[in-house]
């Protein structure tokens, strides 16, 4: 409804629009007509209108770049018409208008959508045939957004070469808008890529008051979120703005990277103001609209403002264009005088260009080529789509086919063709593939040069790269610094300093914590239990897991000792078994000796469970086996000491007790009783709070020790207490029998062995409570071996020595003599 009202309003003063114009450059007859809108003139300052009138472009400042763009379109049409493969036997024509105003050049647009000079807004698409089948232009987002609803309402393909506003990608509002240049979204992404490439985060964004800049600023603010880039200053400038004040503010904020996302006339004022205000050593990122500007690099003093980096489409040459311009100039010079009168009568139709005939071929060819390929590919896009609609083959097209503009639109979306080394294709929003170039301004040479130092492509895959060696920075060759705060060193976290996340101070993290800048640079994270904090690198490194290995020398020494002890115990067992009926064996305990030896052998086996990676089973076996079987051995020693004292000293005083002891095998009952009690305590110790493996990560920063817990303290104390109490009784009884016959006096051997037993375990427990090391368990194994050695070498080895080397002492007579001597001694006393 709104668009219909616009139609009716405009048609009121253009009911019948016809133009009497120059036919040489602005129009060409053909089977199918294309429309073209180019800014051959520019309006420096728009003024409000209070009556409906069309802007007369020729009254305003001329634009050589606009004329050069028009020549590219004319060249492309001529090249297609001369082609034998693209649209054979079909000729394209064109109608071109000077489009210099954002809102007051509608007559040219109405001419395109008219049919024989009239417009029928309510005509069905299948019935209505506008003057052109497609058009290209105009240059700029604001002029395009203004006229696009009129064009796209009838689904006439508007294949644009110079409007990059992202809003035009909205197919609900602009269904037939097609563009051959990247949209602002791609350009902003490219700018952010450059900023991130060099590690900058403190930037300014200057734009102009138009749709192009406002769209770019909106996208920039949106896309820099979560990138670490801070927009320290932003402003949309008018032509009458105070540019000097803006640049002084930027300089005061110490911003060294300035993105100028503006149309050429605004960019020119910004750069000239920077030169005038002596703004130095900045990095200027030029948007595509002025990245290849031909006049600014020639400004006196521009070299002092710093480094200018421009973003433009990858420049491609159009072979034959230069020859076309030279030929056209000769034709224009011949026809110039003949068309003077015609032009004087056609100034209102904006097909007048008084200065154009004065331009030399060199001026046209050397003009800014940024949009040349975009215009060239726009015309070829229309031609390829028409080629598909007409179902052309290599020889001819079906010219009897009725062609409607919307038919071309359907074919454009499916296009995929090479053109001068680049692939032309479109996405769902009718946006073309991207092929950007990063250009560096060389203003120290004459004429100034633009060197390509980087590329950004999306076809066939996304690639972005910059050759840093090609950038001779103004700051002694090093990349300029443009950050609010210097990046924190490793081990330091950021502390916010202002509204901007880029501004911060640095604070050292506490010990055993680190900063993960990719995760959260403001937080010190504690190292995981499996990691340790390295002060040198200020990072968390994985801890090494340590435990006593079988292959370590101390481990080997203990294992060898255990094996030797087991061999000796077995040897003693064999000697005692062979000499079982001899007095030495009988006096040592007889059959009880074998229980003691078996217990010691089994106790020795526990030493093998201290090495290798600990498990719950190994932790259980290494102490439980020793604790039980060694206690059994001590109980045998205790009862043996008691029996000797009982025979020699208590039998006469307590004969009944002695007879009961002998009759009921009191020694075995005692051993069985104490063993059962101790076994029950061991079972309780292992079940109430089972011994298990623990990862000790707090003792050493760079290691995790796998250690065995001791289990419940109370039950462990009971287990240890039973063994130590039996040892105490054994010492007591052996002391009572210190004056017995030599062959029966075990006081010295038992005292030595049990003293060694107590001292080694006291030493072990002291070390266990005082120090933490993987070698503590080595002391545990050594304590067990020392305890076994004490009994073996003080009790069994001397008796084995007598059996083997002093057989004369291993006779009943010798033992009887010892007893008689003891009796005589006692009787004397």
DSSP string, 347-359: GGGT---TTGGG-
**Hey, where are the domains in the chain?**
22-43+57-181+320-330+351-425, 184-318+435-470, 506-542, 553-823
Note the pTM of the prediction, 2 decimals.
0.64
In this prediction, residue 13 carries a pLDDT of 34
Which residues lie across from 526 on neighbouring strands?
513
What confidence tens digit (pLDDT) does each residue in 660-671 have?
A: 666 667 778 888
Q: According to the CATH classification, is domain 184-318+435-470 in 3.40.50.2300?
A: yes
State how far the alpha carbon of 316 is from the alpha carbons of 72, 412, 498, in Å. Answer: 13, 22, 46
Q: Which residues pair with 95 in a beta bridge?
A: 27, 35
- pLDDT over 90 (residue 284): yes
pLDDT at 348: 41
**Does the pLDDT at position 778 exceed 80?**
yes
Lowest-confidence segment of 218-232, 313-327, 593-607 by average pLDDT: 313-327
As its CATH architecture, domain 553-823 has: Up-down Bundle (1.20)
Band (820; pLDDT cuts 50, 70, 90): low
Confidence of residue 501 (pLDDT cuts 50, 70, 90): confident
For residue 179, is pLDDT > 90? yes
Q: Mean pLDDT across the chain, nearest whole number?
A: 84
Helix (H, G, I), strand (E, B) or coil at 135: strand
Over residues 270-287, the mean pLDDT reads 94
DSSP 142-177: HHHHHHHHHHHTTT--EEESB---GGGG-TTT-TTE
Measured from the Cβ of residue 794, the count of other Cβ atoms closer than 10 Å reads 19
Query: How far is residue 727 CA from its own chain's centroid?
Result: 66
Q: If you average pLDDT over residues 632-658, what whole number do you get?
A: 70
Judged against a pLDDT cut of 60, whether residue 23 lies above it is answered with no
pLDDT score, position 49:
67
Q: Which architecture, in CATH terms, is 22-43+57-181+320-330+351-425?
A: 3-Layer(aba) Sandwich (3.40)
Q: Which is higher by pLDDT, 331 or 74?
A: 74
Summarised one tens digit per residue, pLDDT across range 454-488 is 999 887 788 899 999 898 887 677 899 999 998 88
pLDDT of residue 376: 95
* Per-residue exposure over 195-218, b if at least 16 CB sit within 10 Å of its own CB, e if not: beebebbbbbbbbbbbbbbbbbbe
> Mind spelling out the 3-state secondary structure of 538-582?
CEEEECEEECCCCCCHHHHHHHHHHHHHHHHHHHHHHHHHHCCCC
Would you say the CATH fold of 184-318+435-470 matches that of 22-43+57-181+320-330+351-425?
Answer: yes
């Amino acid at each position: 409804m709104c668009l219909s009202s616009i139609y009716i309003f405009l048609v009121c003063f253009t009911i019948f629009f016809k133009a009497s114009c120059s036919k040489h450059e602005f129009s060409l007859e053909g089977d199918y007509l294309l429309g073209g809108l180019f800014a051959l003139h520019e309006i420096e300052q728009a003024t409000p209108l209070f009556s409906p009138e069309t802007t007369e472009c020729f009254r305003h400042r001329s634009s050589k770049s606009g004329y050069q763009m028009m020549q590219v379109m004319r060249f492309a049409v001529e090249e297609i018409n001369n082609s034998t493969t693209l649209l054979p036997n079909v000729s394209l024509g064109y109608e071109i208008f000077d489009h210099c105003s954002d809102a007051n050049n509608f007559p040219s647009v109405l001419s395109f959508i008219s049919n024989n000079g009239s417009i029928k807004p309510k005509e069905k698409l299948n019935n209505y045939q506008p003057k052109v089948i497609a058009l290209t232009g105009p240059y700029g987002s604001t002029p395009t957004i203004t006229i696009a609803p009129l064009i796209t309402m009838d689904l006439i393909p508007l294949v644009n070469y110079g409007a990059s506003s992202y809003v035009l990608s909205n197919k609900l509002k602009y269904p037939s808008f097609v563009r051959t240049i990247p949209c602002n979204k791609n350009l902003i992404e490219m700018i952010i890529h450059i900023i991130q490439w060099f590690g900058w985060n403190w930037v300014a964004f200057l734009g102009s008051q138009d749709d192009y800049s406002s769209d770019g600023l909106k996208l920039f603010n949106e896309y820099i979120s979560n990138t670490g880039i801070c927009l320290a200053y932003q402003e949309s400038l008018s032509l009458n703005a105070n540019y000097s004040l803006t640049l002084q503010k930027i300089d005061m904020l110490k911003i060294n990277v300035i993105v100028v996302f503006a149309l050429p006339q605004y960019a020119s004022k910004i750069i000239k103001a920077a030169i005038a205000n002596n703004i130095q050593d900045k990095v200027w990122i030029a948007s595509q609209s002025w990245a290849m500007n031909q006049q600014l690099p020639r400004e006196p003093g521009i070299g002092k403002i710093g480094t200018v980096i421009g973003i433009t489409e990858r420049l491609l040459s159009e072979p034959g264009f230069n020859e076309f311009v030279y030929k056209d100039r000769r034709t224009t010079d011949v026809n110039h005088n003949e068309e003077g009168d015609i032009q004087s009568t056609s100034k209102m139709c904006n097909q007048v260009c008084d200065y154009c005939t004065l331009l030399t071929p060199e001026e046209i060819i050397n003009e800014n080529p940024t949009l040349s390929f975009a215009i060239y590919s726009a015309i070829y896009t229309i031609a390829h789509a028409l080629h598909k609609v007409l179902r052309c083959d290599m020889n001819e097209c079906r010219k009897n086919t009725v062609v409607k503009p919307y038919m071309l639109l359907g074919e454009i979306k499916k296009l995929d063709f090479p053109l001068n080394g680049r692939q032309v294709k479109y996405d769902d929003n009718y946006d073309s593939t991207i092929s950007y170039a990063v250009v560096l301004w060389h203003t120290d040479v004459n004429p100034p040069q633009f060197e390509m130092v980087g590329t950004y492509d999306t076809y066939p895959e996304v690639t972005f790269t910059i050759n840093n060696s090609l950038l001779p920075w103004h700051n002694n060759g090093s990349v300029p610094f443009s950050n609010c705060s210097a990046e924190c060193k490793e081990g330091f976290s950021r502390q916010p300093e202002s509204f901007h996340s880029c501004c911060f101070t640095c604070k050292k993290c506490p010990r055993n914590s680190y900063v993960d800048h990719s995760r959260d640079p403001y937080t010190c994270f504690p190292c995981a239990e499996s990691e340790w904090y390295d002060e040198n690198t200020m990072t968390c490194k994985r801890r090494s897991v340590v435990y006593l290995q079988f292959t370590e020398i101390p481990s080997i020494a203990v294992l060898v000792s255990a094996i030797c002890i087991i061999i000796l115990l077995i040897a003693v067992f064999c000697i005692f078994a062979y000499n079982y009926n001899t007095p030495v064996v009988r006096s040592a305990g007889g059959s009880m000796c074998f229980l003691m030896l078996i217990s010691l052998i089994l106790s020795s086996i526990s030493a093998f469970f201290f090495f290798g990676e600990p498990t719950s089973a190994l932790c259980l076996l290494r102490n439980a086996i020793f604790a039980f079987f060694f206690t059994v051995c001590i109980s045998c020693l205790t009862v043996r000491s008691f029996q000797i004292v009982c025979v020699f000293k208590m039998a006469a005083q307590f004969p009944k007790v002695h007879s009961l002891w002998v009759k009921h095998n009191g020694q075995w009952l005692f051993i069985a009783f104490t063993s059962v009690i101790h076994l029950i305590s061991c079972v309780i110790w292992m079940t109430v709070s089972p011994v298990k493996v623990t990862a000790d990560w707090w003792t050493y920063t760079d290691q995790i020790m796998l250690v065995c817990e001791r289990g419940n303290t109370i039950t462990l104390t009971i287990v240890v207490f039973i063994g130590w109490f039996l040892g105490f009784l054994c010492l007591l009884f052996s002391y009572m029998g210190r004056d017995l016959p030599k062959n029966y006096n075990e006081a010295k051997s038992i005292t030595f062995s049990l003293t060694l037993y107590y001292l080694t375990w006291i030493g072990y427990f002291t070390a266990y409570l005082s120090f933490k090391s993987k070698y503590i368990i080595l002391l545990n194994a050594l304590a067990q071996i020392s305890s076994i050695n004490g009994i073996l070498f003080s009790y069994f080895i001397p008796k084995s020595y007598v059996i083997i080397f002093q057989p004369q002492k291993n006779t009943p007579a010798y033992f009887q003599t010892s007893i008689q001597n003891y009796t005589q001694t006692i009787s004397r006393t």
